[in-house]
Structure 1
Amino acid sequence: MMRETDPRVIRTEIMRLETALAELRQQLAEMQKACPHEFQETPLSRTCRKCSWTESLYY
């Protein structure tokens, strides 16, 4: 992978990646919202085996 040294190109790439990340986070949130969770529990948390949604059991 060739590294770009122009700061404008790097900033543009960062913005592109941040936008893609936000879209992927939204997709994941929608999947987790609709998931019929199957939890695997530990003393501190429970995590869905299907969508990786995690909830802390330590309050």
Structure 2
Amino acid sequence: MDQPSIDKPISHVLKLKNDIVKLNQRITQLEKEVKSIQENCRHVFYETDVTRSCIKCHYAESTYY
């Protein structure tokens, strides 16, 4: 009985893992960009009983203490 080659699936898995690493790096970059925007925003808050959110940059914080 011939055993099927597994070279192709292994290279495909390695490519997928490499893609995951690149995407995680991109996510980190985008999160830093959002944080920078939110830190430099002149917030205009919409408040509820338990949260307040900036309508411009979507920064949110809890007011429930």
- Normalized against structure 2, the TM-score is what? 0.80
SS at match of 1:58: coil
Number of equivalent positions: 55
How far 1:7 sits from its partner (Å)?
Answer: 1.1
Does residue 58 (structure 1) correspond to residue 64 (structure 2)? The answer is yes
- Structure 2 residue aligned with 1:39: 45
Task: Report the identity percentage.
Answer: 31
Larger Cα-atom Rg: 2
User: In structure 1, what residue type is equivalent to 2:31?
Assistant: R
- Structure 2 gap segments, 5+ residues each: 1-8
Question: What is the DSSP-based 3-state SS (H/G/I as helix, E as strand, rest coil) of the residue aligned with 2:58?
Answer: coil
Q: After TM superposition, where is structure 1 displaced by more than 4 Å over at least 4 residues in a row?
A: none
What secondary structure is seen at the aligned counterpart in 1 of 2:61? strand
Q: SS at 1:55's partner residue?
A: strand
Write the distance in 2 (CA, Å) between the matches of 1:58 and 1:15: 37
Following superposition, the deviation at residue 58 of structure 1 comes to: 1.0
Which of 12, 16, 25 does residue 10 from structure 1 map onto? 16
Which residue of 2 is the match for residue 24 of structure 1? Answer: 30
